Amino acid sequence: MAIYSDYDPFARVYNKYWGDEFTRFAFPLVERLVLRRLPPGASILDLCCGTGQMAATLTALGYSVTGVDGSPEMLRFARQNAPAATFVHADARSFTLPHRFDAAICIFDSLNHVMTAGELEDVFRCVRAALRGGAPFFFDLNLEAGFSLAWHDNFGIVEDDLLCVIRTSYDPEKKVACFDGTVMTQDNGWKRTDFTLRQKCHSPEEVLAALARAGLTGAEVYSLDDRRGLVPLAPRAERAFFLCRRR
């Protein structure tokens, strides 16, 4: 199985414009649903760790963090952002690690990049193998409503030495979203890179079935309400948050 490294061309932009923003959004949920269950200094697996901002936040609190990502460029930034963490270049669908963890997280709809239910189950089996008995696993996914509402947009970023144009789309029949990007960087002349990132819309029912088959149990599913905060998964929720445990 090839290592998923499609974020390499986007790593610089992601590091500057996305990593901190989503960490600020997701950390209160990680704190409430995961960290309160852990002893001080617990070991945490940060799967699809991206550019390491969440790992930096967790290590600053005294946790032992190992980040796994398929993109060497994302990991290059992660090592700069979170020097106290350990980072491993591996694919979420097939990774193995030498020791087990007290918890695992996988945030910012990273698992939507897993394009089949079978491969999603592969991810969950790898996570289960990396966890101690009873350890929690927390992750989030974009849902149908989120793709339908948000993935029909065009936007750009302009800096003196960087241009980035993003075009998003969603095919409701195939349940596949596309994030088409063009990045131009200035380094002894302008260099252009075009790339496409794809996401799959997995239904909550499909995800729960894959978790059960992989031996991750006790699943709780939440969404965010503007007034009430974290609530049981609501109809037409744009994003789902899953919490389960190793059996």
Q: What is the pLDDT of residue 187?
A: 78
Taking 50 as the pLDDT cut, the residues of the chain under it are none
Q: Tell me which of 3.40.50.300, 3.40.50.150, 3.40.50.720, 3.30.950.10 is the CATH number of domain 8-145+201-246.
A: 3.40.50.150
Domain assignments of the chain as residue spans, ordered by start: 8-145+201-246, 146-199
Secondary-structure class of domain 146-199 per CATH? mainly beta
- Rounded Cα distance between 246 and 124, Å, is 10
Q: What percent of the chain has pLDDT over 70?
A: 100
The per-residue DSSP string of the chain comes to -----TTGGGHHHHHHHTHHHHHHHHHHHHHHHTGGGS-TT-EEEEET-TTSHHHHHHHHTT-EEEEEES-HHHHHHHHHH-TTSEEEE--TTT---SS-BSEEEE-TTGGGG--SHHHHHHHHHHHHHHB-TT-EEEEEEE-HHHHHHHSS-EEEEEETTEEEEEEEEEETTTTEEEEEEEEEEESSSEEEEEEEEEEE---HHHHHHHHHHHTEEEEEEEEEETTTEEEEPPTT-SEEEEEEEE-
- Rounded Cα distance between 229 and 11, Å, is 31
Q: Which of these, 150, 183, 154, 173, lies nearest to 10 by C-alpha position?
A: 183
What is the pTM (predicted TM-score) of this model?
0.95
Answer yes or no: same fold for 8-145+201-246 and 146-199. Answer: no
Q: What is the pLDDT of residue 1?
A: 66
